[in-house]
């Protein structure tokens, strides 16, 4: 079986107010020891079989200095790179994506950049704790393209504190003007252990209401599709041929290696989580070559549930044939009642081999997904 490989860099040169990913401020951290452990853990998983995609995320991979950044890329190259790699993505922040790092990424075969822009509104960027400005983001995209990267995705956010529909419209227009072939845009989710969560609890966080958020989402779909970026997943838009391959593994419920502190993986029907604290991660890898601390065998029931609520995130929906091949059961024998009920509510549609969300269902996805949880 060919899987994807996700590699986690938990270091940041600043901490954004909304982020709940496993990350630490990079200053005074044992970065070199971490990269040594990361290399060893890559070797462990590479021995299980090749990867068809590589995705280096964080944290902020570009927070590493040039020497550390090359060490990381060299490890990924030695353990996972081969002629059949379909996609090699690295996440980058505008303020730390130097020309030297761009050259290194070209040298090591990176094919796709995911640039964390979030907004083109300087006031909003400051309000959410970002370290770059709108012009920095635009310049980062231009430099990436000048370095030979034609597959660049912009990561944006909406429903931010104090964000207006006008501000969102201006950000969408700025994104469209840059002409990147892919945009990912997610609504703000307030998670525990974040600065925003603490502000919300104290009543100091002003967020758009649900109605405004829905209006914003509708505007996003309209504006991006107007500029040739078709919606292929609830939060992702691309020109034809530039759909994200690695992330599609998740939505197709396929397996992937999770490598690095706090990373999650899915291998041989088992989901696992790695140690999050940096020193614990380094110690476990030194001891046994990997850092897994939690593991769960996915039951047949869970697999069927995941096939539906992950697959329905894709606008093309779930293949009935693929569902039966993967679960051993016809989709209608498990979910016939739910499918008919959601069709009657206008949230789901059937066409040939596919079951997919309707336009209304895309806006009310959670309502549809919950229907496929088996009691």
For residue 74, give both structure tokens: 């060299």
Half-sphere exposure of 83 (CA within 13 A, CB side): 0
Are the CB atoms for 154 and 183 separated by under 8 Å?
A: yes
Q: What is the mean pLDDT of the chain?
A: 95
Sign of the torsion angle spanned by Cα atoms 197, 170, 148, 97? negative
What mean pLDDT is predicted for residues 324-333?
Answer: 96
pLDDT band per the 50, 70, 90 thresholds, residue 354: very high
For β-strands 51-58 and 230-233, DSSP reports them as unpaired
For residue 277, give both structure tokens: 């604290």
Report the pLDDT value the prediction gives residue 198, as an integer from 0 to 100: 82
Distance between the two ends of the chain, CA-based, in angstroms?
31
User: What are the start-end ranges of the E strands in 255-334?
Assistant: 256-259, 264-267, 270-274, 292-297, 318-319
pLDDT tens, position by position, 113-124? 999 999 999 999
Report the pLDDT value the prediction gives residue 201, as an integer from 0 to 100: 80
For β-strands 256-259 and 292-297, DSSP reports them as unpaired
Place of tokens 């979030």: 118
Buried b (16+ CB within 10 A) or exposed e, 143-160: ebeeeebebbbbbbbbbb
Place of tokens 């779909």: 221
Instruction: Indicate the SS3 state at residue 338.
Output: helix
**pLDDT of 20 above 90:** no
Can you tell me the distance from the alpha carbon of 169 to that of 171, in angstroms, rounded to the nearest whole number?
5
**pLDDT of 161 above 90:** yes
Are the CB atoms for 93 and 132 separated by under 8 Å?
A: yes
Q: How many Cβ atoms from other residues are within 10 Å of residue 232's Cβ?
A: 19
Could you tell me which of 115, 87, 118 has the C-alpha nearest to residue 101? 115
Report the pLDDT value the prediction gives residue 150, as an integer from 0 to 100: 96
Can you tell me the distance from the alpha carbon of 293 to that of 291, in angstroms, rounded to the nearest whole number?
6
Where does 300-370 sit in CATH, by number? 1.10.10.920
Report the pLDDT value the prediction gives residue 21, as an integer from 0 to 100: 77
Buried b (16+ CB within 10 A) or exposed e, 190-226: beeebebbeeeeeeebebbeeebbeebbeebbebbee
Report the pLDDT value the prediction gives residue 196, as an integer from 0 to 100: 83
Place of tokens 């996440």: 91
Sign of the torsion angle spanned by Cα atoms 182, 187, 301, 335? negative
DSSP category for residue 330: -
Report the pLDDT value the prediction gives residue 236, as an integer from 0 to 100: 98
The enclosing H or E element of 36 equals helix 31-46
pLDDT tens, position by position, 291-305? 999 999 999 999 999
DSSP category for residue 314: B
What mean pLDDT is predicted for residues 159-186?
Answer: 96
Place of tokens 């931010």: 160
- Domain boundaries of the chain, sorted by first residue: 3-251, 300-370
Report the pLDDT value the prediction gives residue 15, as an integer from 0 to 100: 78
Question: What would you measure as the largest C-alpha separation in the chain, in angstroms?
Answer: 58
What is the third-level CATH fold of 3-251? pyruvate-formate lyase- activating enzyme (3.80.30)
Between the alpha carbon of residue 49 and those of residues 27, 37, 187, 211, 245, the distances in Å are 35, 19, 36, 47, 18
**Cβ-proximal residues to 290 (8 Å cutoff; 6+ apart), any chain:** 41, 44, 45, 274, 284
The enclosing H or E element of 158 equals strand 152-158
pLDDT band per the 50, 70, 90 thresholds, residue 326: very high
């Amino acid at each position: 079986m060919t899987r994807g490989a996700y590699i986690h860099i938990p270091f940041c040169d600043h901490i954004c107010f909304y982020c709940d990913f496993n990350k630490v401020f990079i200053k005074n951290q044992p970065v070199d020891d971490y990269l040594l452990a990361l290399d060893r853990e890559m070797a462990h998983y590479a021995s299980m079989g090749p990867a068809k995609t590589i995705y280096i995320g964080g944290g902020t991979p570009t927070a590493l200095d040039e020497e550390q950044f090359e060490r990381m890329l060299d490890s990924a190259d030695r353990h996972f790179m081969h002629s059949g790699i379909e996609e090699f993505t690295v996440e980058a922040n505008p303020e730390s994506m130097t020309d030297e790092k761009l050259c290194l990424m070209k040298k090591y075969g990176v094919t796709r950049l995911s640039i964390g822009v979030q907004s083109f509104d300087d006031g909003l960027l400051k309000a959410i704790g970002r370290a770059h400005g709108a012009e920095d983001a635009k310049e980062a995209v231009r430099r990436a393209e000048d370095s030979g990267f034609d597959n660049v995705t912009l990561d944006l956010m909406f429903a931010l504190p104090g964000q207006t529909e006008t501000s969102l419209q201006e950000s969408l227009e700025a994104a469209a003007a840059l002409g990147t072939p892919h945009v990912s845009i997610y609504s703000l989710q307030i998670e525990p252990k974040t600065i925003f969560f603490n502000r919300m609890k104290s009543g100091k966080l002003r967020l758009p209401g649900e109605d405004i958020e829905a209006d914003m989402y509708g505007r996003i779909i309209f504006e991006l599709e107007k500029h040739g970026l078709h919606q292929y997943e609830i939060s992702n838009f691309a020109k034809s041929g530039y759909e994200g391959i690695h992330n599609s593994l998740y939505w197709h419920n396929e397996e992937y290696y999770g490598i690095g502190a706090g990373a999650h993986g899915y291998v041989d029907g088992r989901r696992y989580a790695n140690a999050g604290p940096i020193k614990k991660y380094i110690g476990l890898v030194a001891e046994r070559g990997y850092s897994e601390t939690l593991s769960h065998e996915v039951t047949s029931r869970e697999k069927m549930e995941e096939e539906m609520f992950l697959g329905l995130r894709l606008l093309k929906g779930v293949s009935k044939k693929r569902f039966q091949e993967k679960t051993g059961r016809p989709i209608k024998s498990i979910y016939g009642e739910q499918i008919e009920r959601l069709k009657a509510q206008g949230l789901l549609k059937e066409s040939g081999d596919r079951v997919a969300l309707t336009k209304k269902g895309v806006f009310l996805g959670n309502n549809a997904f919950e229907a496929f949880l088996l009691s």
